[in-house]
Chain A
Amino acid sequence: MAEREPEGFGERERTSAREERERESTATTLPPIQDRIGAWLDDRLRLSRFARDALGKVFPDHWSFMLGEIALYSFVVLVLTGIFLTFFYEPSSASTTYVGSYNPLRGLEVSNAYASTLRLSFGVRAGLVMRQTHHWAAVVFLGAIVVHLCRVFFTGAFRRPRELNWIIGVTMLLLALFNGFSGYSLPDDLLSGTGLRIMYSVIQSVPLVGPWMAFLLFGGEFPSDQILGRLFVLHIFLVPVLLGGLLAAHLALIWHQKHTQFREPGRTERNVVGSRLWPTYALKSAGLFFIIAAVLTALGGLVQINPVWLYGPFEPAQVSSPAQPDWYLGWLEGALRLFPNWEIRAFGFEIPEPFFPAVLLPGITFGLLYAWPFLERWVMKDRAEHHLLDRPRDRPWPTALGAATLTFYGVLFAAASNDLLAHWFALDIETVTTVFRVLSLVLPPIVGYVTLRVCRGLRNAGDVRLLQMPVSAMRTPRARRR
């Protein structure tokens, strides 16, 4: 909204700023150091108006608006620990003899990548804590993203004018998924190498171009000697830069459009009520960052994660069981375990079975995620701007669909542990798999229906919290408008 500033405006500004500083300097005895720095910068950058606006900017205080910050600060921890790791990790498949301090593997022929990971874990002070904190941060990072996505979805925060931010967010989820997978594949251990083999075969299953894509991306037949180097560049440079840029855009959009808020007394579509950035919000947010860093580093030192020295180096003819990916790919792994052995063969060509659960399903998943704001707008015929959030109960159909979808992916996620469940509870693995197959089809509609009824019940029961809702309120078949 730039109005053309009248000529000589700058001079007038400078003069009044200088006058103001002179006035101030006579009011105080010695200007403190921050005044000096502030003045030095302001003299060159005209920061005062921006500073006043920024420091006074109001942010709503609701706790669920901090979920994105949990993701953001986990990412910060990832970058900081990751930088440390890059100084010690070697992204090379070339063979070497491990001669480090971990006795059971000393003398074994392993890749440089694996040997450097062991050296980092056992031979570098603070190396193991850094590596484990990095991995814990990655796993929590994705959890925070998913929880944040759910909050945004169930409160309708993606509606106009925030569709663009939703798209940016879904893209960041994809990038985070990729970086997590590539990150834990870098040590070249037996477990992650098996995951790479699966990824290669999934790419290979794409019709027409599958083998070409696999050969191009990996640099040849599996296991190529180039994949580690490529994953390394993507993992430490390309994807973090993209994530950083998208993050900046994400935050800039929130800044520019102002955050949404719940319907509470005093909140309207035309205001933002909360705390100012300075000092309250800044202190709270900084406090959250330190708490996140504390939890992640505590896990990093106290709870073992990804003990690659026990898995051993990756060898193409070896495998360990149980074999699962990190949790955020559990839904894909479960889909691969549950989908029946159906292949399409015609005219000498075939679409192999993995294509359906591992390419088509994720494609549909992310396609729907990207399209959701536009789908919902089309169905609900809602083109208005929304700065006030809805409670999930006030959006019963999207909430029910969201709950059903979460249930579906939750069942797939649980199915990825079918062998562990069979082992721990002395069950038949075939039975466990069949049960999950049935649940994946039957449970989502049930959960969706129950959610719909609960939403309506909550609305019928008046303004009650979920746990205080009387069960009878769900009995009424239709929502009564009060």
Chain B
Amino acid sequence: MDRHEDGRPRVSSSQRSGHGVAVGVAFGASVLASLGLAVVYVLGGQPQLEGALLLVALGSIGVGLVVWAKRFMPVGVDEEAREPLPSRPEEREVAEETFEAGAELVGRRRVLVRMLAAALGALGVALLFPIRSLGRAPGSALFQTKWRAGVRAVRANGVPVRASEMVAGTVVTVFPEGDIGVADSQTLLIGLEPGTYRPLPGREEWAPEDVVGYSKICTHVGCPVGLYQPAEHLLFCPCHQSAFDVLNGAMPVAGPAARPLPQLPLSIDVDGYLIAQDDFPEPVGPGFWARSRG
């Protein structure tokens, strides 16, 4: 934009009055929009109308102000000197001397200074202790869930699961009876086709009537592994796309998970409901420093 020496725009007076009208119209539109906002609110409110009216109410003021500044104000012609940022040497000396004079007085009592340091240090350390109140020690919490020998597997609505219901291709999320909704105990029961279960050594009796159970907590960063693909017998985690082979001890076959989903040893009680034989043989969920030492 062409400007005079004093920074104001070089425009004809009719152009300038045109700009003035534009700014005035903008502010006027804002007034109307604000009135509209009040009306919309009184009538019960409606988000889209509120958004559109706010756009006009706020935006008109903004546009008006900018046009006013650009078209009527001096722009870009003012100059200011920068003073050197570092203080002048003599000023710095005065400041240093002022500090050192006092520091010398304090520092004469070296023993006292050291004891003050010790006192402040000890206090600082002591004040860190309440941080411990923020939470309990992990203890054995990460090493066990609520599953115990003989506990029935129940759905989120409390209904226990019969082995006969778990035909091939079905999957259901279960919890230990009495601990529905406990996050670390969430487990998937999956129905397999007869003869397809390939147990890891020692786990031959863990999948009665071709129903197998795995922890639902992904061993990567803990999302529920909610996607089951029956054809490939894959559990697929939606967060970072880890895939676990259900037929083969839930070994990770793709994605960033490095460890299999822990398997829950299952059994069937006298009424035909699925129960756990014991807790998971290893900690569920993502890894941590001492996980193998539990």
Touch between A and B in complex, CB under 8 Å? yes
Q: A residues engaging B (CB < 8 A)?
A: 1, 56-58, 61, 125-126, 128-129, 132, 161, 194, 197-198, 200-202, 204-212, 214-224, 226, 257-258, 266, 269-276, 279-280, 283-284, 286-295, 297-302, 315-323, 333, 336-343, 345, 348-354, 358, 385, 387, 418-419, 429-430, 433
Query: Known: A125-B45, A297-B58. Contact between A219 and B289, CB under 8 A?
Result: no
Q: Is the CB of B221 within 8 A of A198?
A: yes
* Number of A-B contacts defined by CB within 8 Å: 285
12 contacts between A and B (CB under 8 A): A57-B80, A125-B45, A222-B184, A271-B81, A271-B82, A275-B73, A279-B73, A288-B66, A291-B66, A297-B50, A298-B59, A418-B241
B57 proximity list for chain A (CB < 8 A) = 294
B257 proximity list for chain A (CB < 8 A) = 341, 353
- Distance in angstroms from A285 CB to nearest chain B CB is 9
B51 proximity list for chain A (CB < 8 A) = 129, 297-302
**Bound Cα distance from A221 to B73, whole angstroms:** 61
Q: Is the CB of B54 within 8 A of A283?
A: no
Query: Known: A222-B183, A279-B69, A317-B186. Contact between A161 and B49, CB under 8 A?
Result: no
B63 within 8 A of A: yes
Which of B7, B47, B73, B132 is the one whose CB lies under 8 Å from A283? B73
A288 proximity list for chain B (CB < 8 A) = 62, 66
Contact string, B52-69, partner A, CB cutoff 8 A, digits 1/0?
101111110111111011
| Total number of B residues with any Cβ neighbor in A under 8 Å | 84
- Distance in angstroms from B181 CB to nearest chain A CB is 7
B117 within 8 A of A: no
Q: Is the CB of B186 within 8 A of A289?
A: no
Query: Known: A301-B49, A316-B183, A319-B239. Contact between A266 and B135, CB under 8 A?
Result: no
Query: Known: A58-B78, A269-B82, A385-B85. Contact between A301 and B47, CB under 8 A?
Result: yes
B54, B137, B156 — most chain A CB neighbours (10 Å): B54
B134 within 8 A of A: yes
Chain B residues numbered 139-173 whose CB sits less than 8 Å from any CB in chain A: 141-142, 156, 173
Chain A residue with the shortest CB-CB distance to B185: A317
**Bound Cα distance from A184 to B133, whole angstroms:** 26
Query: Known: A297-B54, A301-B50. Contact between A219 and B65, CB under 8 A?
Result: no
Query: Known: A129-B50, A205-B287, A280-B75. Contact between A287 and B63, CB under 8 A?
Result: yes
- Extra contacts, 14 of them, besides A215-B136, A294-B57 (Cβ < 8 A), are A211-B138, A211-B289, A214-B138, A271-B80, A280-B73, A294-B55, A294-B58, A299-B51, A318-B226, A336-B221, A343-B259, A353-B258, A354-B256, A387-B82
B77 proximity list for chain A (CB < 8 A) = 273, 275
Which of A125, A161, A212 is the one whose CB lies under 8 Å from B44? A125
Chain B residue with the shortest CB-CB distance to A349: B289
Q: Is the CB of B45 within 8 A of A257?
A: no
A433 proximity list for chain B (CB < 8 A) = 241
B200 within 8 A of A: no
Q: Is the CB of A351 within 8 A of B289?
A: yes
Q: Is the CB of A215 within 8 A of B223?
A: no
Which of A270, A342, A353, A385 is the one whose CB lies under 8 Å from B81? A270
A320 proximity list for chain B (CB < 8 A) = 238
B136 proximity list for chain A (CB < 8 A) = 215, 220
Which of A258, A291, A353 is the one whose CB lies under 8 Å from B256? A353
Query: Known: A125-B44, A291-B66. Contact between A419 and B238, CB under 8 A?
Result: yes
Q: Is the CB of B239 within 8 A of A258?
A: no
**Bound Cα distance from A315 to B69, whole angstroms:** 54
B87 within 8 A of A: yes
Chain B residue with the shortest CB-CB distance to A128: B47
B25 within 8 A of A: no
Query: Known: A58-B79, A215-B136, A299-B51. Contact between A287 and B221, CB under 8 A?
Result: no
**Bound Cα distance from A46 to B13, whole angstroms:** 41
Which of A301, A316, A342, A348 is the one whose CB lies under 8 Å from B258? A342
Chain B residues numbered 240-294 whose CB sits less than 8 Å from any CB in chain A: 240-242, 252, 254-259, 285-293
**Bound Cα distance from A339 to B112, whole angstroms:** 55
A352 proximity list for chain B (CB < 8 A) = 258, 286-288, 291
- Distance in angstroms from B130 CB to nearest chain A CB is 11
Chain B residues numbered 98-140 whose CB sits less than 8 Å from any CB in chain A: 131-132, 134-138
- Distance in angstroms from B288 CB to nearest chain A CB is 5
- Distance in angstroms from B187 CB to nearest chain A CB is 9
**Bound Cα distance from A301 to B56, whole angstroms:** 12
Query: Known: A201-B286, A221-B142. Contact between A216 and B132, CB under 8 A?
Result: yes
- Distance in angstroms from B219 CB to nearest chain A CB is 9
Q: Is the CB of A273 within 8 A of B79?
A: yes
Which of A212, A276, A297 is the one whose CB lies under 8 Å from B137? A212
Q: Is the CB of B286 within 8 A of A283?
A: no
B36 within 8 A of A: no
**Bound Cα distance from A283 to B75, whole angstroms:** 11
Query: Known: A272-B82, A297-B58, A350-B292. Contact between A337 and B256, CB under 8 A?
Result: yes
- Distance in angstroms from B62 CB to nearest chain A CB is 3
Chain B residue with the shortest CB-CB distance to A60: B76
**Bound Cα distance from A387 to B84, whole angstroms:** 11
